[in-house]
Structure 1
């Protein structure tokens, strides 16, 4: 029996993050735990979501940070070094409204060309939910508290601060849609 995509993803993320970026690894493990809790709601995409959750920040690894934009660096690494599943790579590249941040960095065309936004809204929303309801310490939080924490950490006038201000309404909407699915409400 082969290794599942989520087991493979866990090994890759652990190798790249656990020894060099311990805090990022703790956050990643929390995001992955959130994803595992969404399993029943995600049906056949549960494994893919788990893999994307554990790999979403792999591009922060120092050896992978070529552009300094972790979604793009992580997706390129997964595609180029691992030949990873296209859906997985596109989720990593586009997690948590990365397209908006790519505009701030002048990388939107590269991101859109190489890794188009996945056409699976629930899967995209689920990854936003997992990331944006997990603190840097891997604990559960609200999306509002997470956005506030990011603003405090980076500063309102920073590149990330500008991005997160623009993305906040989209983040809150995505989290709300996932919470509605979890509550059994129609989307």
Structure 2
């Protein structure tokens, strides 16, 4: 298999495991598209709404928040609900933004159910750098569709996720069923 190497040839102590190298993930690990500072002009979540839906991978827009595909998804269909306002913490948003984010989350789940028939969902927010937020300066909520058995050896052992669909195609698929 291309990209798989015997561990004993490239590490200090052989451990009997093969390695599946995924150099494309270095863009994420290395911070590609991550803002250099917390200012709005550097923030991808502030820039995305100015792009076309296709270029920004936007699935839907509300009055106070929008729904976008994750550029570095955990699973196919991994969406984020993002307020237009540049705030970092859930405690900083208004009740109106909170309600719209909740409504968009429900609509995202319905669209994902219609388009992809997941068995379940992970929904959550990582807030602050210490909380695991990749872009800590701008609040965003993840909606990750899950299927029975989607945690196979690739992500658990190989630290790799096989994605069966291109992001642009997934955006169209979800936008088409969005209500």
Instruction: Flag the structure with higher strand content.
Output: 2
Q: Shared fold by TM > 0.5?
A: no
TM-score, normalization by structure 1:
0.25
Which entry has the higher C-alpha Rg, 1 or 2?
2
Instruction: Flag the structure with higher helix content.
Output: 1
